[in-house]
Copies of this chain bind each other. A is one copy, B any other.
Amino acid sequence: MTPIPLDTLNAASAQDFVAALADIFEHSPWAAEAVASARPFGSVAALRDAMVAAVRAAGPERQRALLAAHPDLAGKAARAGDLTASSTAEQASAGLDRLSEDEYAAFHRLNDAYRGKHGIPFIVCVRRHTKASILRQFERRLASDSAAEHETALAEVFRIAALRLDQTIQAPDRLPLAGRLSTHVLDTHGGTPARGIPVTLYELGPGEARRVVATAVTNHDGRTDAPLIGGRPVPIGTYELVFTVAAYFAGRGVPLADPPFLDAVPLRFAVAEAEGHYHVPLLVTPWSFSTYRGS
């Protein structure tokens, strides 16, 4: 979907404006209707603020209807293909479209329990989470009280809306929604950035599961040409960066043990702030390594 310039939206008919933003809030075009007459907006941030204010002003009844309009996570509607395009893409981003039968059943149970207790579907801004952290959220929020959950659910709806706006509209500003995950390999044996090191970033599952999120090879400065994750939230969860170092040292003529003391070097860490900058470097010799959260 090509982003629409903000100027175009500002100049469009009210009808076209609402049509373009009908699903910023799930199945709730009224939020766009409420702000159409406040155009023009100077920035996507101003538009977002106006839409959020409209939802805040709409009162508990309409808010509850908005919340109720959200589909279950990994629910029957998702399986049946009855989601908005945004919801479909979002749920896929966290792997909710390819659950095992056991996981599907677990989500089903949690959805029912949550809806039974709080009277609304469980809503979370999926693009900020991994499957494991969604399940953790689920359990925590199931234990929370319903008034607090109403507020939490609204806050998540606003996060979802902001990310959808950011993808839908081309504007002079970007919303501060993106985190970053980057790395850097320093060869402290040779006193130089390590070039040509293969790097794989895994997202760790629940259980033993892991899936590849990104692969790269370090450049002449020991960095990857692009961040491993950038331009979007870094999903909250646990990761492993795996660097393959023995061939690099062998290629520099360094005598190694057989098998080499270090070869595949995993660094395991968790992301807690989806909008944070996580720099996770590797300082490495054939006999030692270290890492830290850098900047």
Tell me the A residues contacting B by CB distance below 8 Å: 133, 136, 186, 188-193, 221-222, 236-238, 240, 257-266, 268-270, 272-273, 283, 285-295
Contact = CB atoms under 8 A, between A and B. Distances in A.
Contacts of A270: 257, 259-263
A262 B136 CA distance: 17
Given A288-B290, A294-B186, A272 B268 contact: no
Most B Cβ at <10 Å: residue of A133, A188, A257: A188
A139 to B, nearest CB: 13
A270 B287 CA distance: 10
Nearest to A264: B268
Contacts of A237: 259
9 closest A-B pairs by CB: A290-B290, A191-B287, A288-B292, A257-B272, A188-B288, A259-B270, A193-B295, A191-B293, A287-B293
Contact of A269 (B238, B262, B290, B294): B262
Contacts of A287: 188-191, 292-293
Could you say how many copies of this chain the assembly holds?
4
Given A136-B259, A188-B293, A265-B268, 8 more contacts: A133-B259, A186-B292, A191-B286, A238-B263, A260-B270, A263-B268, A285-B285, A289-B291
11 contacts: A193-B295, A237-B259, A259-B272, A263-B268, A263-B270, A264-B268, A283-B292, A285-B285, A287-B292, A288-B293, A290-B290
A289 to B, nearest CB: 6
Given A257-B272, A261-B269, A270-B260, A291 B288 contact: yes
A278 to B, nearest CB: 9
Contacts of A286: 191
A188 B188 CA distance: 9
Nearest to A220: B295
Question: Which of A190, A191, A240, A269 has the most chain B CB atoms closer than 10 A to its own CB?
Answer: A191
A56 B30 CA distance: 81
A188 B295 contact: no
Nearest to A221: B295
A7 B136 CA distance: 65
A53 to B, nearest CB: 30
A187 to B, nearest CB: 8
B288 A289 contact: no
